[in-house]
Amino acid sequence: MRVAVLASGQGSNLQSLLDAFPGSSSPATIALVVSNRATAGALARAAARGVATATIAEDGADAARLLELFAAHGIGLVVLAGYLKKVPDAVVRAYRGRMLNVHPALLPAFGGAGMYGRRVHEAVLASGARVTGVTVHLVDEQYDHGTIVAQWPVPVRPGDSAELLAARVLAVEHKLLPSVVAAFARGGGAPACFAAGEAFGPASVLPPSFDDALATA
């Protein structure tokens, strides 16, 4: 399955996808990387792997351009990885059920417009929550709202700063997102929602149980 990745920032989630799907025998091929920021680190990571790149207007509102790019590259699945703009409704409609987003918290908590990056982790810490995590969900017309496809827990530890927590969550993002994309690419669509502890790819990739998740994260 040919995949397009939309990213606004440094692109570490993109890198985890590039590393997970290196060659033609992979279930997914990262065929296109699009950013609304010409200086995004994600574009440099894509170019370093010889993956096609494109930039769009900073506001990300140009639906026709996005659809044109996706058609030209034969895209079957779109992944938002640290993409900070709302995807135009026409693009969401055209890729209904075939567009994923990764969010660094356990939605529906700590999500929505303006909830991205360190703000998410600051809000988690301020709330006193003891567990946070990662959510991969289908994208719909509202921020951080579509059907949840997978989630994984991450403990909040005493003395955590937003930076420390963000790094612990990001490490789990880099494992969960490629596993969901692989399941999509193999299954040709949304896999059944996975409960915590259910094997979600090679055991070596994700901790086999909630306790292990808490112990290892």
Confirm or reject binding of residue 11 to ligand GRF (CB under 6 A): yes
Nearer to ligand GRF, 4 or 81 (CB): 81
Residue 132 binds ligand GRF (CB under 6 A)? no
Position 104 contacts ligand GRF (CB under 6 A):
yes
Which residues 6+ apart lie within 8 Å of 61 measured at CB? 85, 88
CB of 209 to ligand GRF, least distance (A): 23
Considering only residues 32, 66, 81, 154, which one is a binding residue for ligand GRF as defined by CB under 6 A? Answer: 81
Q: Dihedrals φ, ψ of 81, to 5°?
A: -125, 90
**Backbone φ and ψ of 34, nearest 5°:** -120, 135
Nearest-approach distance from CB 148 to ligand GRF, in angstroms:
14
Q: How far apart are CA 168 and CA 38, in angstroms?
A: 28
Query: Can residue 152 be called a binding residue for ligand GRF (CB under 6 A)?
Result: no
Q: Which residues contact 200 (CB under 8 A, 6 or more apart)?
A: 150, 176, 179, 180, 183, 194, 206
Give the nearer residue to ligand GRF in terms of CB position, either 42 or 66: 42
Which of the residues are catalytic? 103
